[in-house]
Amino acid sequence: MHPATEHIESPDGLWHKCEGCDELVFRQTLERNLYICPSCGNYLPFPAEQRLSHIFSTGSWIDLFPTSAPPSLLESLNLADLVVQTDCPNLPDRIIAAGEGEISGCSTILTVIHPLAPLQRLHFVTLLIAIRTALLKEFPLICIYSNDVVLKLNATDRTPASEMSFAEITYLSTEMGKLSEARLPQITVLTDANVGALSTRFPTGDIILAEGASATALTATEQPLVDAAQTAIESTLEAPNTDAFIDRYTPREALPETLGKLLDFFAKARGTST
């Protein structure tokens, strides 16, 4: 597991300081290495849009961020007016992202959300777009809850108050429940398993993965991935400091392959071709 760490970088953004070994690493080196420290293997914060580009298969993907999503799609989702009414500031790209693309040939909706940031309306709208797009197009939904960034505020800044109500969180869970009714896979990925009471903040999927070293596998004797997916409910592992149950720990570099195999398994189980 890789707990959240303070993100330190040079004023010009050319290098980052690894909190694991205090080494200074050039940004281009980190980008090539998926923001994993080449000296000690520590996971550094991975910008949200770059996460999507890493996980989606090589090629283009459709941006589903509220201000970038195709207007015709928003109209078909009955969300155009809600997007217009939502304040969408130019947040750092490491916080929130959403897209439609392919993972190992499987069309998928993928979103990245920071679950411990103040719950703004932007979280609600982005997740709602992702959920409804998955339901409309009958695609699997993958939600990455990225807790690998600690937001830094200036001394004069105030922490923004939450704009999301409990009713809205419940509404998201209800909307995601429609995916289950349609037999559409829902996968949650945690970048840090120590996220506390996650279920009271965001809905989770049928399968929950967590970024981690391969040594922290689900069982002492490694099972084939498909077998792990088939027995995920019966053989879950409760993560520390969270109400989520981790089905499998997966290294960051192996996440696209792991997700691809899971999606292929679910597609065959539904009797569809990939």
> CATH number of the domain that 205 lies in?
3.90.226.10
pLDDT of residue 87: 74
Assigned token pair, 160: 């923004």
Q: Which domain covers residue 37, as residue numbers?
A: 1-44
- Residue 147 lies inside a defined structural domain of this protein: yes
pLDDT of residue 195: 60
Of 223 and 36, which is predicted with more confidence? 36
Section 65-75 average pLDDT: 92
Section 108-133 average pLDDT: 84
248 and 210 in a common domain: yes
pLDDT confidence bin for 96, thresholds 50/70/90: confident
177 and 90 in a common domain: yes
- Residue 274 lies inside a defined structural domain of this protein: no
99 and 9 in a common domain: no
Residues in the chain: 274
Of 10 and 65, which is predicted with more confidence? 65
**Is pLDDT of 131 > 60?**
yes
pLDDT of residue 150: 46
- Is the full-model pTM beyond 0.85? no
Are 256 and 190 a contacting pair, CB within 8 Å? no
pLDDT confidence bin for 12, thresholds 50/70/90: low
Worst-scoring range by mean pLDDT, 147-151, 163-167, 171-175, 185-189?
147-151
pLDDT of residue 241: 62
Number of domains in the chain: 2
Section 214-242 average pLDDT: 42
pLDDT of residue 94: 54
pLDDT of residue 27: 86
103 and 16 in a common domain: no
pLDDT confidence bin for 175, thresholds 50/70/90: very high
67 and 16 in a common domain: no
pLDDT of residue 89: 65
136 and 39 in a common domain: no
Final residue of a domain: which of 11, 29, 44? 44
98 and 34 in a common domain: no
- Residue 133 lies inside a defined structural domain of this protein: yes
- Residue 120 lies inside a defined structural domain of this protein: yes
pLDDT confidence bin for 182, thresholds 50/70/90: very high
- Residue 111 lies inside a defined structural domain of this protein: yes
Percentage of residues in the chain with pLDDT exceeding 90?
35
- Residue 121 lies inside a defined structural domain of this protein: yes
Which residues lie across from 24 on neighbouring strands? 17
Are 101 and 51 a contacting pair, CB within 8 Å? no
Instruction: Indicate the Cα dihedral angle 48, 155, 10, 29, nearest 10°.
Output: -20
pLDDT tens column, 229-255: 434 333 334 444 666 788 889 999 999
210 and 200 in a common domain: yes
pLDDT of residue 217: 38
- Residue 90 lies inside a defined structural domain of this protein: yes
78 and 14 in a common domain: no
Section 85-109 average pLDDT: 81
70 and 8 in a common domain: no
Section 79-100 average pLDDT: 78
235 and 196 in a common domain: yes
99 and 156 in a common domain: yes
pLDDT of residue 254: 94
- Residue 16 lies inside a defined structural domain of this protein: yes
